[in-house]
A and B are shown apart, each in its own frame.
Chain A
Amino acid sequence: MKITLYPGCASEGTAISYTQSALEVAKKLGLEVKEIEDWNCCGSTVTSSVIGQFAADVLAARNLALAEKMGEQDVVATCSSCYAVLGNVNKKFADDKFKANANDALSKDNLSYSGKLKVRMLLDVMYSDVGLETIKSKVVKPLTGLKVAGYVGCQTVRALREFDNCENPTFLDGIISALGAEPVQFSHKLKCCTGAMALSSPEITISTVYPIIKSAHEAGADVIVTPCPLCQMNLDAYQVKVNKNFNTQYKMPVLFFTQLMALAYGLDRKAAGLDYCIVSPNEALKNWM
């Protein structure tokens, strides 16, 4: 299967381990991945408050126009925020007036977009297209005995509601099981981590992240996995603050689900990007590293 990858800005910084492990895992699964050439920032959900909704939409649409030049395969995002933005803008192209206006602006860069592509989230492609059987068939080190909290977060299943169930999602847990691990059920599976607010209102992020880690811990999880860069960063990097503020001693590693796949596929810790984890995963994952 061919996919066009939209890496997003986090792929070069905070979520470098996500893209790296995703590409390694894709190789094992025989996915043919090509990055959108000359892609730009999707604008995230915040740019519209500065430049207005329409300009922000056009900014995101430029990526779709570039993707269309590369063929008709699906555009796949790894980041939930990118997925939300690109997917919602893609839908707007069904409206003729919007499409004409957006293409008017895009023509300044000699670009245009028909609205025909599909925007997908990597988690969905893994589950729906690759399939659990294939995911399972590549496992060489089953993660038997590992308890995993599949933290889905908010935007992944809610922004477009085009895959999984937005109130009771099962895709992530399905993948965790296919790798031989045990998905645990915890109350905060879908709670927002406050996303980009972590920098402007850290105290809110710390008090929001605390019950998420707490509920995963109480459910007996050894690690948390997530499909979203912001979730990963907030839970991982802010855990030290949670421990200070709430007098706890959590040492809960937070990984991208592709890192867990890489591990089960027998890839080394470098390919799995484990050294980018702030809370050390060494103890929890020692049987598989």
Chain B
Amino acid sequence: MSEVAAKDNSVRKYDPEFTKRVYQMENGKWVKMCMQCGICPTTCALKEKMDLSPRRIIQLIRAGAKDEVLKANTMWLCTSCYTCACRCPRGVPMMDVMHDLRHLAVENGIKHNSQAMAEVYAKDVFKRGRIWEGGLTLNYGLKIGLGNFVKMALDMQDVGKGMMLHRRLPLLPPKGVKNPGKLREVLNRAAEIAKEGGH
């Protein structure tokens, strides 16, 4: 889906609007803080599998290389492990920047299984205030399409069986918050505030 490697550098389009847009996002200020020391890629849990290293992503945001950044698999592979954040001399919370980039990628029509998972998760939060781990798997399956889901289910049946046998996946949703409507009002108001630039 998104494992499109951004390796074809022959035509690189620079888009200063893209840089501005990232700076305006909630964690954009951190992109400005990076001093390109290169410590983060040496510590990153999954850099071997990433198209672009975390440092390179920041460099390319500043260079306005929109397509290269948004098509990279990097932000989808960031596990929020905080290893780089812990060692960064500037205290850049890289995982938060990565989450902003996921948001932006989706805005630009690029998606990854990780985001499908995050969306199913967020939907549950909006609906009940708490997630239902059992239902999460199912809804994620519906989101990635029945064919993909069946493939995944077959491939992962040992894992699922272990979880079921040991009662680790609740079959019914546990109770949610008392008034999910109020919670939604809170979140909608927060979204409004963020839109007005207040965060």
Contact = CB atoms under 8 A, between A and B. Distances in A.
Contact of A208 (B45, B133, B168): B45
A9 B173 CA distance: 11
B86 A55 contact: no
A239 B26 CA distance: 38
Contacts, number: 219
A54 B194 contact: yes
A277 B179 CA distance: 34
Nearest to B178: A38
A203 B183 CA distance: 36
A161 B132 CA distance: 30
Contacts of B83: 154, 158, 190, 192
A9 B131 contact: yes
Interface extent on B, as a size class? 35 or more
B189 interface: yes
A208 B193 CA distance: 39
Contacts of A191: 45
Contacts of B187: 51, 55, 58-59, 105
A194 B186 contact: no
Given A13-B170, A14-B133, A240-B158, A49 B82 contact: no
B15 interface: no
Contact of B100 (A16, A45, A53, A108): A53
Interface in A188-212: 190-192, 194-197, 199-202, 204, 208
A158 B82 CA distance: 6
Interface of B: 25-27, 45-46, 49, 77, 79-83, 85-86, 93, 95-96, 99-100, 102-103, 106, 112-119, 121-122, 124-125, 129-134, 136-137, 140, 152, 155-156, 158-159, 162-163, 165-170, 174, 177-179, 182-183, 185-191, 193-194, 198-199
Given A104-B189, A109-B183, 15 more contacts: A12-B170, A14-B163, A43-B122, A46-B118, A49-B99, A53-B27, A54-B193, A54-B199, A105-B186, A154-B81, A192-B46, A194-B46, A196-B117, A200-B140, A208-B46
9 contacts: A38-B177, A45-B99, A47-B122, A48-B100, A62-B183, A109-B179, A154-B45, A204-B49, A237-B163
